[in-house]
Amino acid sequence: MTLRLEKDNAPLAHGPLVFIVLDGVGLGRGDAYDAWAQAETPVLDRLLKDAKRSRSLFAHGTHVGLPTDDDMGNSEVGHNAIGAGRVVKQGASLVDDALADGSLFESPGYAQIRAAYERPGAALHFIGLLSDGGVHSRFDQLEKLLRGAAARGANKLRVHVLTDGRDVPDKSAHIYVQQLEDVLASLRASSVDAAIASGGGRMHVTMDRYESDWSIVERGWKAHVLGEAQAFPSAGAAIEQLRQANPDVSDQYLPPFVVVDDAGAPVGPIVDGDAVVMFNFRGDRMIEICRAFEDEDLAAFDRQRVPDVTFAGMMEYDGDLHIPSRHLVAPPVINRTMGEYLAAEKKLTLALSETHKYGHVTYFWNGNRSGAFDPTLETYEEIPSDPTAFEAAPEMRAAPIADRTIAALASKEFDLIRINIANGDMVGHTGDLAATIRACAFVDAQLGRILDAVEQAGGIFIVTADHGNCDDMALRNKDGSPLRGPDGEVLPRTSHTLAKVPLCIGGPGLSDDAALDTDREDAGLKNLAATTLALMGFVPPADYEPSLVVHKS
């Protein structure tokens, strides 16, 4: 199919367009733990004061194709949405589709899992939240995974269950355990050795997040891997007896347990040669346990024994750090991205970032497609990242990115320059507030240099972000107050946030009556492809989310 765009007979802009992604810069609370608000950022502050040409955008949850609006955005889905111009399924929806058509079991990740469990004596372990709450996992997906694996030669299955009581009614764990036992019984009737091996409550065992309490992961490791926890003849007996011992205990906080055989031996510790799959589709509470399996030099706790296993997640839970290294459901393949349309229109593009975000401004922007659509029209440049720790060198490579952008504008070679400045995200992940404030101030200074060059080139700019991160550097209580440790210290947040992100447009190439539509309440990253094409003088494709650029006198 030949892609073509219709020219706009009344374009709102002219000149080269610079599209700037300030990675991880959300619009936060503005309090002492909002690194961007605490930093000296006069450039973005000035842009945000222009009510005609600035607004906020959604960058998380269903607005970027994630299952729920409790799901934080990330760089992968953010750049997917920016480039695609429409919402693309992510997470649970992709897993549903992959299970329905069987493609999950044909994936490269599953092929390696299968090769492992087909070895004599090897077990296939599943670890995750036993629930149908649909926030982190779903029972029906686990059942399909178990039955699909058994149909494909897995004859020793072990499930390590994390009880919920949070996304489903409390004290309902025994219901889900019985449902699982019924599934496992039907598999045993088909000569498959299938059993629950261990478990515990989600807030007490395995499912920590944001590195707030590694002892939660350590308890899970001891139960799932080492087979060390209070022993019971079944998971049902464990829940019953643990509740008898403490009638007030929530499913969320059930102590760890292991299931043992008649001789008192654990039925399913994870050992060398086994295969292990995390069946949660949501990643925030899976990242640490994945690291426990895959990080060679993990110092968070003493693992005692690290089994040599073939390990996979349902999804890639952290695309920035590629955690885990193997997954079963691939990111979506997206066609007709703005990059493909612009290549078809013979527009010259420069895509630029440092190493940490190079794939985002190229691969993910292009709809999970490697390489250029037309190498004669597209220039992809990677500036090597500095190996120094982010908190020690929070400036990262923002200055060389600005230098190259300024040179590209001066060359008058490109119609579109798209760049990613990674500091707000990568330094924000360290949890070091002072370093992140320093990073934000430096990024703003480089932004100012770039916008000065846009002015000199007679061009236009878009400034936005892909998700929040540096806008909140503190873990929070339910009332929004900072969460404090045993000595009164504020516990640092190292994860992404649910914050909206900025959108600012400007430059001398922008018509005086060009403004942003501030009335569209659901505006998000999904609208930016159409906005970009409109600023470049084209009528966006009809199935793209609408452009946010409007005529306003």
Q: What's the rounded Cα separation, in Å, for the pair 232 and 286?
A: 26
Q: Reading across the β-sheet that carries 54-57, which strands appear in turn?
A: 54-57, 501-506, 460-464, 17-22, 416-421, 349-354, 378-383
- Provide Rg for the chain, Cα atoms: 25
Q: What's the rounded Cα separation, in Å, for the pair 459 and 461?
A: 7
The phi and psi torsions of 386 (rounded to 5 degrees) equal -75, 130
Token pair recorded at residue 26: 């959300």
Kind of pairing between the strands at 416-421 and 349-354? parallel
For residue 435, the one-letter residue type is A
191 to each of 156, 173, 203, 221, 239, how far by Cα in Å? 10, 27, 35, 29, 27
CA angle centred on 551, ends 547 and 553, rounded to 5°: 150
CA angle centred on 348, ends 346 and 353, rounded to 5°: 140
Q: What's the rounded Cα separation, in Å, for the pair 227 and 151?
A: 27
Strand partners, 13: 510
Q: What's the rounded Cα separation, in Å, for the pair 443 and 24?
A: 12
The phi and psi torsions of 143 (rounded to 5 degrees) equal -60, -45
User: Token pair 């429409």 is at which residue?
Assistant: 86
- Please tell me which residue in 54, 75, 137, 353 is annotated as part of the active site: 75
Specify whether 107 is catalytic: no
Q: Which residues are catalytic?
A: 75
